[in-house]
Amino acid sequence: MRSFVTGLLAAVVVCVLGAAPGEAQTHVGIRAGVSADPDQFFFGGHIETRPLIERLTFRPNVELGIGDDLTVFTGNLEFVYSVPLQQAWRVYFGAGPALVVFSRDDDGPGSDNDGAGGGFNILLGAQHSEGLFGELKIGLVKSPELKVTIGYAFR
């Protein structure tokens, strides 16, 4: 299971970082943070499309969480709605489904503690026009219950 998750994450990172920047194209970003239940450190990346409709973008992301004797890979298909502020900041909120793949580090391969399931996320964030962002994510079903993220979106 661990090699599957590592391979999948590597493939996604290569695709995200290999996307060519352009005015009409998507933007890529990196992210890291901490989660609660499970208590983990996580890192990952995202892609943000140009607006689908005014202020609404598709922002899929992948995150790999490590800690609490557990490895968690999440693939999140999130839509975000942005509200620009008068300064260089924008506030955004969104939601979307997630695929959660997990593996207990203290058990052997193929144990009953390995598996996958669906989740759902609700998020709130703020992003500077230069790319720095912070995000708070609440997870439902199999998603980690709470994530606090800091990241950078390349523009």
At 9, is the pLDDT very low, low, confident or very high (cuts 50, 70, 90)?
Answer: very low
- pLDDT for 146 beyond 90: yes
How many Å apart are CA 126 and CA 93, to the nearest integer?
A: 9
Once rounded to an integer, what is the mean pLDDT over residues 67-76? 95
How many Å apart are CA 29 and CA 44, to the nearest integer?
A: 9
Q: Determine the distance from the C-alpha atom of residue 26 to the mean position of all C-alpha atoms in its chain, rounded to a whole number.
A: 16
Instruction: Give the CA distances from residue 116 to residues 100, 101, 103, in Å, rounded to whole numbers and listed in that order.
Output: 5, 4, 9
Beta strands (DSSP E) in the chain are 27-36, 40-48, 56-58, 61-67, 70-76, 79-84, 89-104, 115-128, 132-141, 146-154
Per the prediction, the chain carries an average pLDDT of: 86
- pLDDT for 36 beyond 90: yes
Strand partners, 41: 34, 66
One-letter amino acid for residue 56 of the chain:
L
Structural domains in the chain, CATH included, are 2-154 (2.40.160.20)
Which pLDDT value is given to residue 94?
98
- pLDDT for 18 beyond 60: no
